[in-house]
A = this chain, B = another copy of it.
Amino acid sequence: MTEIKPDWIAVDWGTTNLRVWAMSASGTVLGQGSSDQGMGQLSPADFEPALLALVSGWLGNGRIPVIACGMIGARQGWVEAPYTSVPCPATSTGFTPVATDHPDLDVYVIPGIKQMQPADVMRGEETQIAGFLALNPGWDGVLCLPGTHSKWVHISANEIVSFQTFMTGELFAILTGHSVLQHSVGDDGWDDDQFSQAVQDTLARPERIAAGLFTLRAETLLLDLSPQAARARLSGQLIGAELAAARPYWLGQNVAVIGAGHIAQHYVNALALQAVPATLSKGEKVTLAGLTAAYRSLKG
């Protein structure tokens, strides 16, 4: 077994998951790990042990920086990292140090970003934004970050100008997990035509959004709507509702989607239906680029 001796450790610590990477100074990934020890289930005394459970094998060679982003910086997290206010530089600064017991850990948490009007917050996405701009210097436009809480972010001259959060992913999860639609919507499967039609219908008549949900249940009972079709239609309705409300963000703009898997592709497809060609960047890649940019700013 070859020993892993990182120069620093990158950490993405969200509400439900903890992901870590052993990094070289130049930004190469030497090792990685993950667990379900997300911020949401940890008490204050649990954070350091949860981190050590994944990274202790990388320690023992002196004090090294650990750069963390995500909900770990919330009030209920390891340390509260105060929000930066928009407009602000897209590259994070002002990291909050964390006191630790282990002598080799030199932990810093990247601050989230807030907007007062309309009120909004992000924690974690600011690091993906910084990473995307590190990978695409000088890029101007609008970033779309799908997820439990999707974000639309207006970037200009390397600054975050404004942003807006949508609960689309969480709405899909609670409707399919806790509402009467759980009996209609499948756990997997898809139907491109149903998705596209639902996106288009919702954007054409957004005032009808609330009327389409129970129809899925009724079509299951009366018309044998398939679970796959219902899944794609519900997703199209919710993403369509998000696009209807986010129209000022994407209409006539240069749009890049940051994310992983099917969900991000669905957003790209939905935007294509509006004649908006969006690029797609992998979420993990930009997260690591953002943590690397933060490491360099800390060292610089």
- Residues of A at the B interface (CB closer than 8 Å) are 114-116, 118-121, 149, 164-168, 170-171, 174-175, 177-181, 206-211, 213-215, 217-219, 221-223, 238, 241-242, 244-247
Residues of B within 8 A of A179 (CB): 167, 170-171, 174
Sampled A-B contacts (25; CB under 8 Å): A114-B218, A114-B221, A115-B218, A118-B215, A119-B221, A119-B222, A119-B223, A120-B214, A120-B218, A121-B218, A121-B222, A149-B180, A165-B218, A167-B179, A167-B180, A170-B179, A170-B180, A171-B213, A174-B175, A206-B206, A208-B244, A209-B244, A209-B245, A210-B242, A211-B246
Nearest chain B residue, comparing its CB with the CB of A148: B180
Chain A contact residues, majority secondary structure:
helix
Most buried by B among A210, A223, A242: A210
Nearest chain B residue, comparing its CB with the CB of A85: B222
- Let me know if B166 and A214 touch, CB within 8 A: yes
Question: What is the count of identical protomers in the complex?
Answer: 2
The contact of A178 among B174, B219, B241, by CB within 8 Å, is B174
What's the least CB distance linking A299 to chain B, in Å?
A: 32
Assess A209 versus B206: contact at CB under 8 Å? Given A174-B174, A177-B178: yes
What's the least CB distance linking A38 to chain B, in Å?
A: 14
Residues of B within 8 A of A223 (CB): 116, 119
Residues of B within 8 A of A213 (CB): 166-167, 171
Pairs A-B, 7 closest by C-beta atoms: A206-B207, A119-B218, A211-B245, A165-B214, A210-B241, A210-B245, A119-B219
A264 to B223, CA, bound (A): 32
- Let me know if B164 and A211 touch, CB within 8 A: yes
Residues of B within 8 A of A180 (CB): 149, 167, 170
- Let me know if B119 and A215 touch, CB within 8 A: yes
- Let me know if A208 and B245 touch, CB within 8 A: yes
- Let me know if B222 and A116 touch, CB within 8 A: yes
Residues of B within 8 A of A165 (CB): 214-215, 218
What's the least CB distance linking A108 to chain B, in Å?
A: 22
- Let me know if B244 and A210 touch, CB within 8 A: yes
Residues of B within 8 A of A168 (CB): 210
A104 to B214, CA, bound (A): 39
Residues of B within 8 A of A246 (CB): 210-211
Nearest chain B residue, comparing its CB with the CB of A218: B119
Residues of B within 8 A of A181 (CB): 167
A286 to B247, CA, bound (A): 45
